Amino acid sequence: MNVVRINSAHTSLDSSLKIVENVRKVSDKIAILIDTKGPEIRITKMDDSEGFTVEAGDSVEFADNVEGISTKGLLYTNYYNFVAEVPVGVNILIDDGEISLTTIGKKDGRLICVANNKGIISGKKSLNVPNVNIKLPSISDKDREFILWAIENNLDFIAHSFVRNRDDLMAVQKILNEHNSHLKIISKIENQEGVNNIDEILTYCYGVMVARGDLGVEIEYQKIPTIQRDIIMKCQARKKPVIIATQMLHSMIEHPRPTRAEVTDIANAIYQSTDAIMLSGETANGKYPLEAVETMTKIALEIEKQHEPFLNLNMIDISEPVAAVLAKGIVDATVKLPIKAIVFDTMTGRTGRYISAFRPNVPIYAKCYKDYVMRELSLSYGVYGYLINIYDSKDDFIKSSVKTLLKDKCFNRKDMIGVVGGSFGPSAGATFLEISTAINMIM
């Protein structure tokens, strides 16, 4: 695994800190990502923890009182203006779509609905109203608490849930800026508004997670594969890492082997050139967490053997054109020459993201001058990070880097490798490309 995800919806600050401490004991190269709950709507708690059963055709009503205790037939939500903002004639989905209601009227401050199927409604369950834009706040008090905790404990990524537009991201970035934090924002795309505004969202975040659970509730399921493919392509063109998430090996929560459909799902995400594939319930509370990680790794390594670099990629939003040209040049060289690895140095990670965007079929070794940049690059396709000190010259950088990688058996002395680096100091960006055997580079 390259990144550990902590879901703030299902953990406390104390238990989260224990996870962070354990990860840091294992490796300083594994990035840690914390999920916020984001702007979501839930039913308030019920006195009866088991809830109540509705039949198709039963009436269910909503009223606005965030402190209200939901009861049979009368539901309150954690959003103060739910009844006012939800129109008549739309569907409300409860518990990830397990129960569907249709709104049929409003009377005396209540939203009147009819159940479309049989099921159990219980407290704290999620609510989705597809294709209706509800004016939820960008971050909750709990989100703020976890963001501040992440800053204090030097985490790497904030995965903000239910991102709808740039305002949701700017609210998180404002907190990060106030504390001069290096944490990067991952936008979780989980509704139609987020899909519609994906170009705007990509401008204001480090990367994207295609969270197919809620996305599949909000949007017709047959559209999800196309949305997934399109978001991956947009992220790749803008050098933004992209994660495909939810139910990738769902059957392995209970069983030691995946279904063939799950194997194909993972393979398709890799064929589409995603940067990362994510496990959630499989490792959070499944019976076979280790086997799930091993299974996903085996599938990924097998499928990656089949791909070719995307040299016709039209990258956009290029802030360093020299680095972009060198990145494409070195990846092109791996097709024409027997190059076994790409090595580069970086202060910000930008060159690594450029190289990764072309999806070379050889490992990319990042020599990073900052520890958090090393961990950030663990989310980018094919990149393996190392922390280094600033060298006096490019020759010193090349010799030292190649010696370290030879020691780690990343390649052999006679293997040809490519190096991208800067001749004018780390802050000046990439300016040169060298290709030769490893033994020549350490002489």
Q: Kindly list the domain boundaries of the chain, sorted by start residue.
A: 3-39+137-246, 41-128, 321-441
- CB half-sphere exposure, 3, CA atoms < 13 A: 33
Across the chain, what does the average pLDDT equal?
Answer: 94
When pLDDT is averaged across residues 222-241 and rounded to a whole number, the result is 96
Residues contacting residue 202 through CB under 8 Å, at least 6 positions apart: 187, 208, 234, 235, 238, 240
Residues with catalytic annotation? 5, 42, 188, 246
Q: What is the pLDDT of residues 139-170, one digit of tens each?
A: 989 999 999 999 999 999 999 999 999 999 99
- Give the CA angle between residues 123, 127, 133 to the nearest 5°: 150
- CA–CA dist 40, 78 (Å, integer): 9
Helix (H) / strand (E) containing 330: helix 321-336
Q: How confident is the model at residue 304 (pLDDT cuts 50, 70, 90)?
A: very high
Say what the pLDDT of residue 131 is. 86
Asked if the model's pLDDT at residue 37 lies above 90, the reply is no
Distances (CA, A) of 405 to 86, 363, 409: 58, 11, 6
Inter-residue contact 413 to 389 (CB < 8 Å): no
Q: How confident is the model at residue 317 (pLDDT cuts 50, 70, 90)?
A: confident
- DSSP class of residue 291 equals H
Inter-residue contact 186 to 205 (CB < 8 Å): yes
Asked if the model's pLDDT at residue 427 lies above 80, the reply is no
Q: What is the pLDDT of residues 262-272, one digit of tens each?
A: 999 999 999 99
Q: How confident is the model at residue 431 (pLDDT cuts 50, 70, 90)?
A: very high
Q: How confident is the model at residue 120 (pLDDT cuts 50, 70, 90)?
A: very high
Say what the pLDDT of residue 438 is. 97
Nearest CA among 98, 150, 148, 146 for reference residue 121: 98
Say what the pLDDT of residue 79 is. 93
When pLDDT is averaged across residues 32-49 and rounded to a whole number, the result is 90
Q: How confident is the model at residue 321 (pLDDT cuts 50, 70, 90)?
A: very high
When pLDDT is averaged across residues 378-406 and rounded to a whole number, the result is 93
Q: How confident is the model at residue 423 (pLDDT cuts 50, 70, 90)?
A: confident
CATH number listed for the domain at residues 321-441: 3.40.1380.20
Q: What is the pLDDT of residues 188-211, one digit of tens each?
A: 999 999 999 999 999 999 999 999
Which of 3.20.20.60, 3.20.20.140, 1.10.10.10, 3.40.50.9100 would CATH assign to domain 3-39+137-246? 3.20.20.60
Classify strands 276-277 and 242-245 as parallel, antiparallel or unpaired: parallel
Asked if the model's pLDDT at residue 425 lies above 90, the reply is no
When pLDDT is averaged across residues 35-43 and rounded to a whole number, the result is 89
Q: How confident is the model at residue 222 (pLDDT cuts 50, 70, 90)?
A: very high
Phi–psi pair at 34, nearest 5 degrees: -110, 130
Residues paired with 115 in a beta bridge? 101
Say what the pLDDT of residue 268 is. 96
Say what the pLDDT of residue 68 is. 94
When pLDDT is averaged across residues 48-68 and rounded to a whole number, the result is 93
Q: What is the pLDDT of residues 346-386, one digit of tens each?
A: 999 999 999 999 999 999 999 999 999 999 999 999 999 99
Residues contacting residue 287 through CB under 8 Å, at least 6 positions apart: 253, 254, 255, 256
Asked if the model's pLDDT at residue 428 lies above 90, the reply is no
Say what the pLDDT of residue 96 is. 82
Fold annotation for 41-128: M1 Pyruvate Kinase; Domain 3 (2.40.33)
When pLDDT is averaged across residues 396-416 and rounded to a whole number, the result is 96
